[in-house]
Amino acid sequence: MKSFGWLACAVAALSGAMIARAAPPQQAAVNDAAIMGDGMPRLLSDYGFFDDAGAQLPVAGVHPYRLNTPLYSDGAEKLRFVYRAAGTQFGAQGEGLLDLPVGTALIKTFAFGEGSERRLIETRVLLHRADGWLALPYLWNEAQTDAQLAVVGARIALTTPAGQAISYRVPNKNQCKECHGLSGEVVPIGPKARNLSHAWLSRMVADGHLDTMPQDADQLPLWEARESAPLTAAARAYLEVNCAHCHQPGATASNSGLDLRWEQQAPEALGIGKRPVAAGRGAGGHLFDIVPGSPDASILTYRMASPEPGVAMPELGKATVDEEGLTIVRRWIEEMAP
Amino acid sequence: MTIRLSIAAALLAGAAPAIAATHSIVPGDGAQEALQEALILAEPGDEIVLAAGRYTLTDGLSLDVDDVTVRGAGMDGTVLDFTTQQGAGEGLLVTSDGVTLRDFALENPKGDGVKSKGADNIVYHRIRVTWTRGPHPENGAYGVYPVESDGVLVDGVKVTGASDAGIYVGQSHNITVRNSIAEANVAGIEIENSRNALVEHNVATRNTGGILVFDLPNLPVMGGGNVIVANNLVIANDTPNFAPPGNIVAGVRRGTGIMVMANDKVLIEDNILSRNPTAPIMVIAYTQEFEDERYNPLPRDVVVGENRYDGGGYDPQLEGADMLLAAFGGELPPVLWDGLGSLSAVEGTAGWNLNLTEAGKGLGAAQPGPLAVGTPGQPFDRSGIGAPAALEQRLGG
């Protein structure tokens, strides 16, 4: 037994040496020990997710993906990747979150500006370790060569695509959990089958990364094609993606009793005719979360339309009003039969 | 002397992990990051010590590590100033268990002051939350705000200016709120959808309503009850309601002393009630329409024990106030009941009854008359009411 262990070490050392000597650097592998270990790696490059980090070109095994309807983040361009560890496979779980086994990493980079003007601001990683998911924020350097762990987050002055000068908030480690916390655990939010395209999922199945095609995938409309989608689907997709990570049972805003998940069908839970609980001045003088036919009298849209801390919703992850999202939700409430 | 004392303290604290560390934070440049970093990197058992001074904070703080103590140099010595806060829904958010917060202040948070959610066995000791401009509808909603927690001890805190409730405990179990001051809030102290709560030895003054015990529909946790409100000084709660409309407390009448809405088993005794011009004590059913099969809108088994009343409703904010005052000889008796649910009161309790027959239908059908209710039957069952005794041990020093 002991000698086998010794042998394995020797092989590892040998192969490591061979890679270092023979392999060109762009074929470097992801550092599983950084994902799975106990520590908090100081640099994004410690993980080896990228061939060319500044250009966001991933190494083999790190797969880019997009969500049909994404979370609004002050108009940031978001580059999403998922890393599958060797010897593991993602699993389909109906329309919900993909089963992403221990060893998986989700990587999301936030950028502002286009073309050569693009600047990477931060990269958030979610690491699936043996004791659960860990969320860590990394802040890009001036030279755009690497990003450094920033457990306390940061504030950065920048201009949004809409031309607004804002103090952009990079969340701290705890704030990561405010959105990613569910019943005491940290969980991924984005990669739910219903918000992923058939095309991407089938490619993942074909390449052996995902065990089988999930049922009821690809339900949420493509955000940029929302005008041609049913209004209810567009609005409910928006609320699911932007609000439901907190507004659901077991999550950060559970005590509000508001449940904005895609699958929720009860009108009261969705806020229709529901009185506020702890909204304070966030109620804006209105009596109900949603008044059918009257977006101007609904707390939901009042809070979406406010940039002011203490009133604005979501509380974290944005400093500006999402006018596109607000328009869709307003129209949905407007067309709701009173 | 000092050395000997700290050795003794160390011996006494033998149960604590030997490796507990102290993180010292001082005000000035970088304090925001240093404090938030300490709150993130602390290990269970650690203490974060905030030196005296004023900390200018532009973002909300958060703590998610169990068994951490955050200690300042006194509620007037260490001030976390959120006047220029740019983000987050509260000044400090706690989401871990066994936390002790003590001896510091928060001023002008944009949303709530300190919120602890799903944070069991939390102690708030000598914490001050102040909106310095006084009552204003754009002040934050709650000062001290534990919610969805089991085991809550609030002792010696002071909250001023909250546009909803100064001290608000919601959807929680096993609670003590005591020795605290709630001044110039809409609701001074509010216990909502919670069980086994003891509210004692507090001062509630200049609020719109002094002490509220509410149970509301359509919340994840309902069935509020087993509440004792005793030995409180509830005086001059006469600030006009400044809550933003839409919130349940926006319906609280200026001049309410102690108010029970819905709930099961509430004891009100040994309080001093003075200058609460609408109603020193008010016991009513939930006033709105609702759709929730799990919810009982009536107050059940509410007991009004011996209290000291310095007059009653001398300037009630009620429809038909003039007629009511005339009918009752210039001043309404101290206890107001809407006639729904069940109420008992010790002999000699002066009160009046709206004699409503249906909940949630407004006051249109009221037929006011003198209160005539039975006296309390068996002694109020106090078992299990209040915070776990173990929380008290964290109050020393």
pLDDT, residue A67, reads 98
CA distances from B196 to A223, B14, B343, B382 (A): 48, 32, 19, 9
Q: Are B244 and A178 within 8 A, CB to CB?
A: no
Of B278, B209, B273, B274, nearest in space to B247 by CA: B209
Determine, for residues A280 and B41 on separate chains, whether the beta-carbon distance falls below 8 Å: no
Alpha helix (H) residue ranges in A243-306: 299-304
Taking residues A237-257, report their average pLDDT. Answer: 94
The pLDDT of residue A27 is 54
- Partners of B49 in beta bridges: B24, B71
> What secondary structure, in 3-state letters, does chain B show?
CHHHHHHHHHHHCCCCCCCCCEEEECCCCCHHHHHHHHHHHCCCCCEEEECCEEEECCEEEEECCCCCEEECCCCCCEEEECCCCCEEEEEEEECCCCCEEEEEEEECCCCEEEEEECCCCEEEEEEEEECCCCCCCCCCCEEEEEECCEEEEEECCEEECCCCEEEEEECCEEEEEECCEEECCCEEEEEECCEEEEEECCEEECCCEEEEEECCCCCCCCCCEEEEEECCEEECCCCCCCCCCCCHHHHCCCCEEEEEECCEEEEEECCEEECCCCEEEEEECCCCCCCCCCCCCCCEEEEECCCEEECCECCCCCCCHHHHHHHCCCCECCEEECCCCCEEECCCCCEEECCCCCCCCCCCCCCCEECCCCCCCCCCCCCCCCCCHHHHHHHCC
Please provide residue A232's backbone torsions phi and psi, each rounded to the nearest 5 degrees.
Answer: -60, -40
Amino acid at A325: G
Model confidence over A308-335: pLDDT tens digits?
888 999 988 899 999 999 999 999 999 9
Q: How many degrees, rounded to 5, is the angle at CA A198 between CA A209 and CA A48?
A: 40
Residue A314 tokens read as 């979501």
Question: Would you call A285 and B245 a contact, using CB atoms and an 8 Å cutoff?
Answer: yes
Q: What is the mean pLDDT of chain B?
A: 93
Say which of B145, B148, B244 has its CB closest to residue A283. B244
Interface check for A177 against chain B (CB to CB < 8 A): the answer is yes
Nearest CA in chain A to B190: A278
Q: Which two tokens stand for residue A191?
A: 């990669």
- The pLDDT of residue A218 is above 50: yes
At residue B16 the predicted structure's pLDDT band, cuts being 50, 70 and 90, is very low
Q: Which residue, chain included where needed, has tokens 């010292």? A: B24
Enter the pTM of the model: 0.87
Q: What is the pLDDT of residue B18?
A: 52
pLDDT tens by residue, B109-168: 999 999 999 999 999 999 999 999 999 999 999 999 999 999 999 999 999 999 999 999
Average pLDDT of span B20-49? 96
Mean pLDDT of the region A122-151:
96
With a cut of 80, say whether residue B51 has pLDDT above it: yes
CB-based contact A279 B247, cutoff 8 Å:
yes
CB B370 within 8 A of CB B333: yes
Asked if the interface predicted TM-score (ipTM) of this complex is over 0.90, the answer is: no
**Shortest Cα–Cα distance, A314 to chain B (Å):** 9
* Cβ contact B64–A308 (<8 Å): no
Q: Is the pLDDT of residue A156 over 90?
A: yes
- pLDDT 10s digits, A83-115: 999 999 999 999 999 999 999 999 999 999 988
* Confidence category of residue B194, pLDDT binned at 50, 70, 90: very high
Confidence tier at A56 by pLDDT (50, 70, 90): very high
Q: Which is more confident, A129 or B13? A: A129
Predicted pLDDT of residue A337: 85
A148 touches chain B (CB under 8 A): no
Looking only at the bridges linking them, the beta strands covering B300-304 and B343-345 are parallel
pLDDT digits (tens, 9 = 90+) for B59-118: 999 999 999 999 999 999 999 999 999 876 799 999 999 999 999 999 999 999 999 999
In CATH terms, the fold of domain B111-395 is: Pectate Lyase C-like (2.160.20)
What residues in A contact B135, CB-CB < 8 Å?
A: none
Would you give the distance in Å from CA A124 to the centre of its chain? Answer: 9
Structure tokens at B213: 């015990």
A281/B139 touch (CB, cutoff 8 Å), yes or no:
yes
Query: Given its phi and psi angles, is residue A167 left (phi above 0), alpha (psi -120 to 50 degrees) or beta?
Result: beta
Strands (E) in A96-241, as ranges, are: 105-112, 119-129, 132-140, 147-149, 154-159, 165-170, 181-182, 185-186
Question: Would an 8 Å CB–CB cutoff place A74 in contact with chain B?
Answer: no
Chain-chain contact of A285 with B41 (C-beta, under 8 angstroms): no
